[in-house]
Structure 1
Amino acid sequence: METSILLFLCIASFSAGFVDAIVGGGGLIQTPVALILLPNQAVSSIIGTLKIPAFSGTSFAASQYLKKVDMNWKLLILMSVIAFASAFTGSTLLTYVSNDFMKPLLLVVLSLLAVYTFVKKNFGQHQEKALSLKQQITYAVIISLAVGFYDGFIGPGTGSFFVVAFISLLGFDFLHASANAKMVNLATNFGSICLFILKGKIIWAIAIPMAVCNALGGFIGAKLAIAKGNGFIRIFFLIVVIGTLIRFGYDVFTGK
């Protein structure tokens, strides 16, 4: 592989790690870049390979959040186990069928999400919900199954969907939602990685240097998010949702 291609991939991976650490959506950056720069590689190999830097960056981001943000460990362990299995199932299904039929639906969902977040200024600014233990567990299971499967089957924007779920269903603010989302996102990434390793789809010569850069981006992004707080994360969230919306809109209307 040419050094220049690997360099561009590493730059994209650093940027993805930075954005993903703040509010998710890093796959929106590194996935298109990898698909363009590696035209001779199978798409499944590219997606599988990118799961390694995604896991690396999320790990470093999570380590920073753990130092500053309180976590509900009982809830997170439950969610992580379910999300792991759900992502593994989604990635398995991806090896047999196309996921293109989901894109028009996601286009509508993301459009509504962007409008709602922009109009509702206090969305994700503070914790509001007082949920019973039964309600917490119910919502946690739904989030883990749905978003975990999405990550394994489609991928881009997973972190953002986790953030939305933590805010809207569990009543977290943006900072706590981002922190907790990182922990569950680790499980979904690991579930997909296990599947792609079993299938022999990971290109390690690309995955490892990208993982280092993604981790650095995740480390810096998480520190910035913690320092700046909810208002800053909300702005970043809107940018990532709109970017994801444009990505899916392009895919839907060009037939990609």
Structure 2
Amino acid sequence: MMDLWLVVAASFLAGVMDAMVGGGGLVTVPALLSTYPSLPPSLLLGTNKCSSVFGTAVAATRYARRVKLDWAWLIPAALVAFAGSWLGAWTLTKTDPEFLRKLLPLILLFVLLYTLKHRQFGMLHSPMRTDRNRLLLAMGIGGIIGWYDGFFGPGTGSFFIFLLIRWLGVDFLHASASSKVLNASTNLAALILLAATGHVWWQAGLAMAAANIAGSVLGTSLALKHGALLVRRVFIVIVTLLVLKAGWQAYVA
């Protein structure tokens, strides 16, 4: 029972992080793997998706009530992200993702350095594209990062946020809110596939989901109260931790 409480606590913290800038898997996946080392990793990854899909869905709903989202491109992008995640999960059954493990810290480091160099990055909400181009770019983001989430996963929320700011010109708050809709879609696709193949431990997953929802409520409240500046600061911290963790796993451990 104590083991379950440990992963539930980790899921709460992950919910706070995910609701703001993503990166919750940085907490829950290591917690599950270290707490239940005898269980198959695929079962634990499916269980993690069970918890995160509820948290991201609740965060998306809360953001949608307070932040004006552009559904004209967000819904098509979410549908493409769903399909991309499903394809990525299928690709995982055919291909070893080891090459991404080596590449991930380098991509994250670029994201971090770019954000630090451009101090106004994500501080202004000023969509820069025409409606058609915005839609095509959003669908491209959904498809690419959706596939990545189904295939590998770490840093998905952060990648969504970075690309939405860089390519669509939204601020950190709108990017975080929009990324929750996209991430909920990718999580759902992966969960359906993993559940269908028996890779979800429902007892632990649903307990973690309740904690993840509570964390997402706190995280969205903080983001909505303090706006883009706080989200930017948390984003920098989380991406820095992701760079260190991914780099350690890829090149040291």
TM-score normalised by structure 2 residue count: 0.97
Query: Letter of the aligned partner of 1:145 in structure 2?
Result: G
Deviations 1:28-70 (CA, angstroms, capped at 9, x unpaired): 1111111111111111111111001101111121121111101
Give the match for residue 231 of structure 1. Answer: 229
Which stretch has the larger CA shift, 94-103 or 55-64? Answer: 94-103
**How much does 1:228 deviate?**
0.6
Give the match for residue 67 of structure 2. Answer: 69
Query: Letter of the aligned partner of 2:57 in structure 1?
Result: S
Q: Give SS of 1:169's match.
A: helix
Q: Mapping of 1:45-56 within 5 angstroms? A: 45-56=43-54
Deviations 1:112-134 (CA, angstroms, capped at 9, x unpaired): 11111112110100023431122
Give the match for residue 199 of structure 2. Answer: 201
Give the match for residue 214 of structure 2. Answer: 216
Of 146, 149, 155, 1:148 maps to: 146
Q: Which whole-Å CA distance do the structure 1 matches of 2:69 and 2:238 have between them?
A: 24
Q: Which whole-Å CA distance do the structure 1 matches of 2:131 and 2:72 have between them?
A: 11
Query: Letter of the aligned partner of 1:91 in structure 2?
Result: A
Which stretch has the larger CA shift, 82-91 or 246-255? Answer: 246-255
Of 244, 247, 254, 2:245 maps to: 247
Q: Give SS of 2:63's match.
A: helix
Q: Mapping of 1:57-206 within 5 angstroms? A: 57-206=55-204
Q: Which whole-Å CA distance do the structure 1 matches of 2:246 and 2:94 have between them?
A: 21
Q: Please state if 1:11 is matched with 2:9.
A: yes
Q: Mapping of 1:14-29 within 5 angstroms? A: 14-29=12-27
**How much does 1:97 deviate?**
2.4
**How much does 1:102 deviate?**
0.7
Q: Which whole-Å CA distance do the structure 1 matches of 2:222 and 2:27 have between them?
A: 19
Query: Letter of the aligned partner of 1:138 in structure 2?
Result: L
Q: Please state if 1:34 is matched with 2:44.
A: no
Q: Which whole-Å CA distance do the structure 2 matches of 1:38 and 1:98 have between them?
A: 23
Work out whether residues 56 and 183 of structure 2, in 8 Å CA contact, stay in contact via their aligned partners in 1: yes
Query: Letter of the aligned partner of 1:83 in structure 2?
Result: A
Work out whether residues 102 and 251 of structure 2, in 8 Å CA contact, stay in contact via their aligned partners in 1: no
Unaligned regions of 5+ residues in structure 1, if any?
none
% identical aligned pairs: 35
Q: Which whole-Å CA distance do the structure 2 matches of 1:38 and 1:120 have between them?
A: 42
- Aligned residue pairs total 253
TM-score normalised by structure 1 residue count: 0.96
Query: Letter of the aligned partner of 2:224 in structure 1?
Result: I
